[in-house]
Amino acid sequence: MAEVVNEVRSRQLGLLTSSSDPILIDSVAEAGMDFLWLDAEYTGLSAIAASHVVHRLSGRGVSTLIRVPAIDPDSLVTFANMGFDEIVLPRVRTVEEIKRAWTCLTYPPRGERPRQVIPASAWGARYDRQPQISMIVETLDAVRALPQIIATDHLSSYWIGHKDLFDDYVREFGDKAGFEDFVREIVETFRQSGVSFGWGVPEPSDVESVWTAGATRCAWYWDLHLPRHLARSAASRLERR
């Protein structure tokens, strides 16, 4: 029984969004969610806007994640300097990309991150606080390199990018046959390796399926859920007329 309780407590549920709206951010904290994941890839979310979210959630028990717009050194360091707890790497394809990202985000002597006087370093007072690094598995190249990537021990967690991975799969194999089995193989790789993994879902009712698959993290995709919820509400109103 104790093992079951510990497993439940280790699960993390958070919100994934590209919005920096203060009301939404406060709601995440008030709801007691474990993390807020901001999406800066192709969304136009700036580092400054993202930093305001980090500041607003400081000391409120909510971890902050950011999917960076790119994995070049400038993008990585810029968002890390905002004080995020976790940097999420998109579109990874090789082990070398993971190693370069880790080097960029790690202070000397192990890495090459500049020692800058910023809020994330307590204005130069400490350089031992570094963000965790996770990646989204959303390319076939990343799947093929997954055993080697896991072996680097540079990542704290993994996310399954279901939609982009599906598109990459169809481009290579021509149809979707076998895709769900393909995803189950990825999940099994994670489980056998004993690493933390999760993925995003559009509806609260989908969360249980993530836990059932053995994941320890689940991101509720607010930007998918909200328009669906509004559409259902509008349709229900029209039906009552």
pLDDT tens track for 103-133: 999 999 999 999 999 878 888 888 888 899 9
- CB 201, CB 209: distance < 8 Å: yes
Q: Residue 235: what pLDDT?
A: 78
What average pLDDT does this structure show over 92-100?
A: 97
CB atoms inside a 10 Å sphere around CB 156: 15
Q: Read off the pLDDT band of 35 (50, 70, 90).
A: very high
pLDDT over 80 (residue 4): no
Place of tokens 């969610």: 33
Answer whether residue 170 shows pLDDT above 70: yes
Measured distance CA(135)–CA(116) in Å, rounded: 25
Reference 204, options 218, 215, 185, 183; nearest CA is: 218
> What pLDDT was estimated at residue 239?
65
Q: Which pLDDT band, with edges at 50, 70 and 90, does 237 fall under?
A: low
Write out pLDDT tens, residues 48-65: 999 999 999 999 999 999
Of 43, 112, 120, the C-alpha closest to 81 is 120
What the chain holds in terms of domains, given with CATH numbers, is 2-240 (3.20.20.60)
The answer to whether residue 216 scores a pLDDT higher than 70 is: yes
226: helix, coil or strand? helix
Say what the pLDDT of residue 128 is: 85
Query: What token pair was written down for 72?
Result: 């070049």
Q: What's the whole-model pTM score? A: 0.92
Distance of alpha carbon 49 from alpha carbon 38, whole angstroms: 10
Please report the pLDDT score of residue 119 as a whole number: 78
pLDDT value at 1 more than 70: no
| Residue 29 pLDDT level (bands cut at 50, 70, 90) | very high
Percent of the chain with pLDDT over 90: 82
- Report pLDDT digits (tens) over 186-211: 999 999 999 999 999 999 999 999 99
